[in-house]
Amino acid sequence: MMQLLAHYRISSGYDRFKSAFDADAEDRGHNSLSVLQLWREDDSNIWALYDVADAAAARAYLNGAADVFNSQAGVMATDFHFVETA
């Protein structure tokens, strides 16, 4: 099973991020990403764990359409790691 560990560095505060994150749920779902966990490290760092049904679709989304979410959520930088259960 493939999963994605995502780190979002944000500038706008958690409330703006969370509102945009919730609004983006349908787009993520259409691109093979299902949220398993969302963690708030502090006011600038958010981590998410996703289940990935189709890695190619998820990568395509992260490399393109996710830019709209990033701008709405105040995301300054992202770091994504596709991992599999060992």
Can you name the residues that pair with 61 across neighbouring β-strands? Answer: none
- pLDDT 10s digits, 38-72: 999 999 999 999 999 999 999 999 999 889 999 99
Residues 6+ apart with CB under 8 A from 64: none
CB 70 within 8 A of CB 10: no
pLDDT for 5: 98
- pLDDT 10s digits, 16-41: 999 999 999 999 999 999 999 999 99
Domains and CATH numbers, the chain: 2-84 (3.30.70.100)
Q: How far apart are the first and last CA of the chain?
A: 9
Pairing of strands 2-10, 75-84: antiparallel
Residues 6+ apart with CB under 8 A from 15: none
